[in-house]
Amino acid sequence: MSALQKTRLRIFMTGVGGQGTLTATTLLARAAVAAGLPVTSGEIHGMAQRGGVVESTLLIGYKSPKIGPGEADILLGFEPLETLRALGYLKPGGLVLSSTEYLAPLSVATGKDTCPDLAAIKARVAACASSVRFLPCRSLGLEAGAVQSGNIALLGALCSLGALPFGVEVLAETIRATMKPKVAEVNLRALTLGAEHPA
């Protein structure tokens, strides 16, 4: 990937309310600014209540915060069903990182709807992306000290792939600078766990 490509990125993030999708977006945006990069971000579905779908965008080197279908270089899915639903935003041959752990929507939890199994989701994702990485974000968050830090584990995995124009240390410094010390400590552990998790 050329330096120009690495400094022009469209990242689409999706998850369920309460998973920290918007926190992850803000942290990545602040890290990009700290690295001296032009960045814009936005929410596609405004802030959702806990359990609702949350979608956000982060663009490095672009003026508009919008990502249309087939435009995202990177898709970050904090919940596998939402990863599947957002595949239409991924450009052909893009990169996908996703959690393997479900947070079933109300329709599935009440038996009105069914959810595809993880193997089916992985197959669909692999058919669209050139590079895919799945990891158990909620479990890694718990291991770090708080299930909510699973979002940061996914960011750690992204940083470890070298897909961003800055590394894990810039993101770590952003966490230290923007979070209270005890919260930062947990999130830094999650960042490391995600970065070190085997592909």
**What is this structure's pTM?**
0.91
Residues 70-106: pLDDT tens digits?
999 999 999 999 999 999 999 999 999 999 999 876 6
User: What is the pLDDT, as a whole number, of residue 18?
Assistant: 74
Say yes or no to pLDDT of 162 above 80.
yes
Mean pLDDT of the chain: 90
What is the distance between the alpha carbons of residues 197 and 199, in angstroms, rounded to a whole number?
Answer: 6
Q: Is 56 helix (H, G, I), strand (E, B) or coil?
A: strand
Q: Using alpha carbons, select from 127, 134, 120 the residue that is nearest to residue 92.
A: 127
Say yes or no to pLDDT of 172 above 90.
yes
Q: Map out the domains of the chain with their CATH numbers.
A: 3-196 (3.40.920.10)
